[in-house]
Amino acid sequence: MSAMATKRLLLIDGHSMAYRAFFALPAENFTTAQGQHTNAIYGFATMLISLLKDEKPTHVAVAFDVSRKTFRTEIFPEYKANRAKTPDEFRSQMSYLHELVKGFGISQFKIEGFEADDIIATITKRAEKEGAEVLICTGDRDSFQLVTKQTTVLYPKRGVSEMARMTPDAVQEKYGMSPEQYPDFAALRGDPSDNLPSIPGVGEKTASKWVIEYGSLGELLAQAEKVGGKVGESLRANIDNVKRNRELTQLIHDAPMDFTIDALAWSGVAESDLTSLFEQLEFRTLKDRLKVISAAGAQTPAKEEAKSSEPEFSLFGSEIDSSVLTSDEVSAKIGGQQGAISIAYELVDDRLHRYAIALDKKTAFLVHSSEMGEWATNPAVEKIAHDAKSVARDNGLTGVVFDTSLAAYLVNPGVRSQEVKDLLERWGDGSQIDESSPEQILLTTACALFGLRDSLSKELNDRGLTKLYHELELPIADLLALMENRGIAVDKKGLETLAIFFDSEVARETKIAHDAAGHEFNVGSPKQLQVVLFDELGLPKTKKIKTGYTTDADALTWLFEKTSHPVLAALLRIRETKKLATTIEGLLVEIQKDKRIHTHFAQTVAATGRLSSVGPNLQNIPVRTEEGRKIRGCFIAGSGYDALLTADYSQIEMRIMAHLSHDEHLLKAFESGEDLHATVAAEVFGVKAADVDPEMRRQIKAMSYGLAYGLSSYGLAVQLDLTPPAAQDLMDRYFERFGGIRDYLKTVVDDARKVGYTETVMGRRRYLPDLMHDNRQRREVAERMALNAPIQGSAADIIKQAMLNVQGALVAGKYESRLLLQVHDELILEVKTAEIDAVSELVREQMGKAYPLRAPLDVSVGIGKSWNEAAH
């Protein structure tokens, strides 16, 4: 601050900076328990705290836009018309942003017909007359025209955390011109973000060159006839556009406002004003950050304030004890440790490369080795980690008492990004990851995990998820690491034989397709297929797309049903066999030296709680076709074992539906022990079970499972090839007999709408903010999720509990037989002949008692040399 200036005014473009915060922080990482998105509010709040702490303004104001209709749109209706509709997730946060600014004790302005930039320009010019120093924080480069010796623009370089200081010298250095010349340059350049047209053939370099050479736009236009070449012609042809651009980029300095600079004085934050808002928005960590700018601490001496505002630790600084140790030295350090340690690790090709161990928030050690000591496999040494399973599968890591990745997933299962850095933004205690080097990332991550554990533990407890976390998700992670390490044996020669067969099938069917068309063509080219099918063969047209008519699998199937043309039969067979060949190719490359495939179970991907399988995906091995089952026939019992045992739940979704809905007719259908779908069909169609034909059974089976997955009458019509009225009639008849299901389905959506989430039988939550969305399509998608999540999620919880039950019983009984895979509702074990009967009974019993449903769990078991043979 200059000696003369007693006022230091900070002006913030509210919409501009909040929008940047919205896109800088993943929306899915920042939602409340009720599903309210908060990323823009959180980012804006952290930016405000940083600006107020670092810039120490005496006066502050925030300006907001009112709408897109301003005096500029009256001049040029297309102004900003190219901008996409404001995301609903952002719009829903605006009222909270205004409340936030008010809570910070900051004046805010908005004027109908004017943009925030005009408000800022108006305040700036009056502040300059009063000798104030002005700082403008905005992401709009038009503000550069306001830069003077008194006024600096803080322009965001990345998100809202890093700002460039645009002084007169900085503008001159970057653009080669003064701030006064900048709007002339902007008018010539045009602005795609504002939909201001550019001059064809004229880019930033030419626009800049003209302004520098002629001094101003006015002088350039006065001498436009002298500008040579094509760019000169282009300039002369677009003079009206350029003049209009210049009018629109000029900021208004006298917007109709009633204010005084003195009224913008800022005296710090009264924390109590923001406490309730932060609690409502679930901002647990921001309250601590407010201390450095609170009303009580606003006049804190600079030296003391600097100390209090430091991050909780600073790598290799005075705040952290860190060194590079050997694995033995680390083991010695851990030996004297009281309480949990934390581990952060670096993997290379899925293998441990090096790691850091932290004893507390300020003491960490780096180990440049893939070797861990005895402490790693000692469950008595309690460990905190992030995605512990990734390092546990090959290193035997046990004793993990807290996994931040799993905790964050349970707290908000819709989150896609589970990196520690992202979680610290939402749940951290102020700790930050130092990204200046890979070593520093490891050390600071290990230290940060302690604070993350504390805040996530509280969050789990507040949301009633602690039991589910400690009794299901954490133990399952340990078991999955064990299963991934074991893998499953495969018959490599069998897979290679199948691959050769499918390749020959593709070649054979390709020749048939060529013969049927009368010439050769690329069967994999949609463009060539369109020519052959629709132009040459004159087949019925399919759905119109940008490139002609679709030739996807559904379209080809429809065409074949209509015409039975041999070229279509060949094309469908080619696609089927190519898909199978691709599946086999993916399996072959994953076979390890031990002749086994080691899939990775993804535990934090599906919002419903279901596990998925990657590297390779063993959940999509075909089972419905003879040739698909041949692939399953190549998964076999490995060396030292005699057979595979498969066990799965019979109709688990319908049993959960019966349990949740209390529907007496559905419960009785299960009690009868007869074919469920035939029994239900008899009820719906009013006939004896013996008189239910296959079509009746098919329709009711589709109906029953469809309802469990949120199927509408229209979806049912498509699935069963019925007219929509016929499908609705079938649904009405179903609900007439099974009213408990109808009432449950209605209640579950209504209840979810009230609280913002659904729950499984074990308390797993799925947050669905779109249940209250204005857009009908998005609301209906959320409603289908609300119908589906409790059933599919409960099935996921039950199979996980079954896995733990089976594993516990196998260990307790000291059996050699072992659990290898979980595929949806099926478990696959590798067994010894002598243990088959005992393990079969054990599996039935332990899976059967995983959860006490009103329609008891029914388990089917099969034994065979291969996965296919063990099917039942």
pLDDT digits (tens, 9 = 90+) for 571-627: 999 999 998 999 999 999 999 999 999 999 999 988 899 999 998 999 888 888 888
Same domain membership, residue 472 and residue 354: yes
Question: What pLDDT does residue 574 have?
Answer: 93
DSSP strand pairing (133-137 vs 107-109):
unpaired
Q: Can you tell me the mean pLDDT for 788-794?
A: 93
pLDDT value for 310: 33
In the sheet where 133-137 sits, what is the strand order? 107-109, 59-63, 8-13, 133-137, 151-158, 162-166
Token pair of 819 as six digits: 């659990």
User: pLDDT at position 1, please?
Assistant: 45
- The vertex-817 CA angle with 811 and 820, nearest 5°, equals 95
- d(Cα 683, Cα 689) in Å, to the nearest integer? 8
Residue 767 and residue 35 in contact, taking contact as beta carbons nearer than 8 Å: yes
| pLDDT tens digit sequence for 243-278 | 887 877 888 888 899 899 999 999 888 777 788 788
Q: What is the pLDDT of residues 377-424, one digit of tens each?
A: 999 999 999 999 999 999 999 999 999 999 999 998 877 667 898 888
Half-sphere exposure of 243 (CA within 13 A, CB side): 10
Q: What is the pLDDT of residue 404?
A: 96
Question: Tokens 């609705």 appear where?
Answer: 728
Which pLDDT tens digit goes with each residue over 125-135? 999 999 999 99
Q: What is the pLDDT of residue 394?
A: 92
Among the ranges 64-73, 225-234, 796-805, which has the highest mean pLDDT value?
Answer: 796-805
pLDDT of residue 796: 96
Strands 826-831 and 818-823: antiparallel
CA terminus-to-terminus distance, the chain: 80
Banded model confidence at residue 82, pLDDT cuts 50, 70, 90: low
Same domain, 467 and 326: yes
Q: Say if residues 704 and 677 touch (Cβ distance below 8 Å).
A: yes
* pLDDT computed for residue 302 by the predictor: 35
Q: Which of these, 22, 31, 863, 842, lies nearest to 415 by C-alpha position? A: 31
Residue 392 exposure: Cα atoms within 13 Å on the Cβ side: 28
206 occurs within a structural domain: no
For tokens 């952060």, what's the residue?
A: 344
Residues 496 and 585 in one domain: yes
As a whole number of angstroms, the distance between CA 619 and CA 605 comes to: 14
Q: Tell me, what's the pLDDT at 301?
A: 34
- State the Cα–Cα distance between residues 750 and 742, nearest whole angstrom: 13
Query: What total of structural domains would you count in the chain?
Result: 3
Say whether both 40 and 158 belong to one domain. Answer: yes
Q: What percent of the chain has pLDDT over 90?
A: 53
Give the pLDDT confidence score for residue 309 in this predicted structure: 33
Q: What is the chain's Cα-based Rg?
A: 33
Residue after which a domain boundary falls, among 429, 455, 487: 487
Q: Given 450, 467, 487, which residue is the final one in a domain?
A: 487
- Residues 292 and 300: beta-carbon distance below 8 Å: yes
Report pLDDT for 84. Answer: 62
Residue with tokens 């509408």: 712
| pLDDT at residue 296, rounded to an integer | 39
pLDDT tens-digit readout, 54-63: 899 999 999 9
DSSP type of residue 226: G
Residue 297 pLDDT > 70:
no
Residue with tokens 């403008």: 136
- Poorest-confidence range of 151-165, 366-380, 573-587, 855-869? 151-165
Stated as kind and residue range, the H or E segment containing 164 is strand 162-166
Q: What tens digit of pLDDT does each residue of 456-482 get?
A: 999 999 999 999 999 999 999 999 999
CA 632 distance to own-chain centroid:
32
Q: What angle do CA 319, 320, 326 make, to 5 degrees?
A: 165
* Three-state SS at 308: helix
pLDDT at 416: 64
- Domain-located, residue 567: yes
Q: Give the per-residue pLDDT at 436.
A: 87
Q: What is the pLDDT of residue 3?
A: 41
**Do 465 and 418 share a structural domain?**
yes
Examine the domain organization and report whether 518 and 566 are in the same domain.
Answer: yes
159, part of any domain: yes
What one-letter code names the amino acid at 777?
Q
- Whether 129 is in a domain gets the answer yes
- Return the higher-pLDDT residue of 359 and 719: 359
Give the number of other CB atoms < 10 A from CB of residue 118.
Answer: 24
CB atoms within 10 A of CB 81: 11
Q: Is the pLDDT of residue 830 over 50?
A: yes
Across 103-107, 140-144, 230-234, 472-476, least confident range: 230-234
The chain-wide mean pLDDT, for the chain, equals 87
- CA angle in degrees (0–180, nearest 5) for 114-117-118: 50
**512's tokens:** 């048939």
Give the pLDDT confidence score for residue 228 in this predicted structure.
76
646-696 pLDDT, tens digit each: 999 999 999 999 999 999 999 999 998 888 999 999 989 999 988 999 999
The identity of residue 639, as a single letter, is: S
Residue 317 has pLDDT above 60, yes or no: no
**Chain segment 89-122, per-residue pLDDT in tens:** 888 888 889 999 999 999 999 988 888 999 999 9
Provide the CATH number for the domain around residue 399: 3.30.420.10
- Does 744 reside within a domain? no
Q: Does any domain span residue 442?
A: yes
Query: Quick one: 42 exposed, middle or buried, by C-beta within 10 A (0-12, 13-18, 19+)?
Result: buried
CB-CB contact of 411 with 460 (8 Å): yes
Mean pLDDT of 637-646: 97
Q: Is the pLDDT of residue 52 over 60?
A: yes
CATH number at residue 589: 1.20.1060.10
Same domain? 39 vs 97: yes
Whether the predicted model's global pTM rises above the 0.85 cut: no
Q: DSSP states of 169-216 as a string?
A: HHHHHHHSS-GGGHHHHHHHH-BGGGTBPPPTT--HHHHHHHHHHHSS
Of 274, 264, 266, 281, which is closest to residue 53 (Cα–Cα)?
266
- Residues 129, 154 within the same domain: yes
Burial class for 504, CB neighbours closer than 10 Å (0-12, 13-18, 19+) = exposed
Do 395 and 530 lie in one domain? The reply is no
Which pLDDT score, from 0 to 100, does residue 547 have? 80
pLDDT, mean of residues 292-302: 48
Residues 445 and 343 in one domain: yes
Whether 466 and 500 share a structural domain = no
| Ranges 200-209, 246-255, 511-520: which has the least confidence | 200-209
Residue 565 structural domain: 488-594
Phi, psi dihedral angles at 352 (to 5 degrees): -65, 125
Assign 37 to helix, strand or coil: strand
Clarify whether residues 498 and 479 are in a common domain.
Answer: no
In angstroms, what CA-CA distances link 721 with 550, 557, 695, 710?
21, 14, 12, 18
**Tens digit of pLDDT for each residue in 524-557?**
898 999 999 999 999 998 888 878 889 988 889 8
CA–CA separation, 825 vs 860, rounded Å? 11
> For 156, phi and psi rounded to 5 degrees?
-65, 130
- Report the CATH number at residue 166: 3.40.50.1010
In a domain, 768, yes or no: no
**CB of 851 closer than 8 Å to CB of 637:** no
- The answer to whether the CB of 855 falls within 8 A of the CB of 655 is yes
Q: Copy the structure tokens of residue 410.
A: 């349970």
Among 454, 469, 487, residue at a domain's last position: 487
- 526 in a domain, yes or no? yes
